[in-house]
Chain A
Amino acid sequence: AQSVTQPDARVTVSEGASLQLRCKYSSSGTPYLFWYVQYPRQGLQLLLKYYSGDPVVQGVNGFEAEFSKSNSSFHLRKASVHWSDSAVYFCVLSAGNMGYKLTFGTGTSLLVDP
């Protein structure tokens, strides 16, 4: 069985501060992992993806994430947030090349105080 846990439903940070959004996963196979961002009344936009290799992956707009097999985690980070980063962030897990199914986390709503 696959599952994704985003333990923080809401996070508030000040503009210019660093950010970490947490994601824990459970997968029976080799996981493929993604972070998506959703702005109000828009679709989900891919921030970054991890298939294999270097555990630190770089994404768009200064975001990065680190895959940890030992901790079953894929946390999202950004060194300095901007007010425009306010959005909902989803951690997503796939079963790799074993199937089509994606498992979505419940999302973390990020508010950046200007």
Chain B
Amino acid sequence: EAAVTQSPRNKVAVTGGKVTLSCNQTNNHNNMYWYRQDTGHGLRLIHYSYGAGSTEKGDIPDGYKASRPSQENFSLILELATPSQTSVYFCASGEGTGRALYFGAGTRLSVL
């Protein structure tokens, strides 16, 4: 039943390595989002998408790329991972501009 599924749930990466976080949604929502959650900063928007083939920069896009190959899938890519990217990452799909988001369970990433 889970409508937004993230993989992996946990990831340990090395500094300088490439990391890909995946997200799949079955809500048939056009909009998808990537956030990171850190103590003291709350949730911050990294990238978002209005539909297949589109990606937009959020508030903290530096060091991240996004890919939306289909309506259902939205990936977050760290080409050269750094320890400062250690965080919990959440994917979400949205009902429409400004409307409710539905979040996945999160990916806990540690960059050593």
* Residue ranges of A at the interface with B (Cβ–Cβ < 8 Å): 32, 34, 36, 41-46, 49, 51, 94-102, 104, 106-107
Contacts and interface: CB of A to CB of B under 8 A. Distances in A.
B11 to A, nearest CB: 15
B68 to A, nearest CB: 14
B31 interface: yes
Contacts of B94: 100
Contact of A51 (B31, B33, B99): B99
A43 B97 contact: no
Interface in B9-68: 31, 33, 42-43, 45, 48, 56
Interface string B80-112: 000000000010101011111111111010000
Given A36-B103, A101-B45, 6 more contacts: A34-B100, A44-B103, A46-B100, A46-B101, A96-B98, A97-B97
Closest 9 pairs (CB-CB, A-B): A43-B103, A94-B98, A44-B103, A43-B105, A49-B100, A96-B98, A104-B43, A104-B42, A43-B106
A84 B92 CA distance: 24
Interface residues on B, range: 20 to 34
A9 B4 CA distance: 29
A97 B106 CA distance: 27
A91 B102 CA distance: 14
Contacts of A36: 103
A107 B37 CA distance: 12
B81 to A, nearest CB: 22
Contacts of A45: 103
Contact of B101 (A98, A102, A106): A102
A102 B103 CA distance: 13
B98 A97 contact: yes
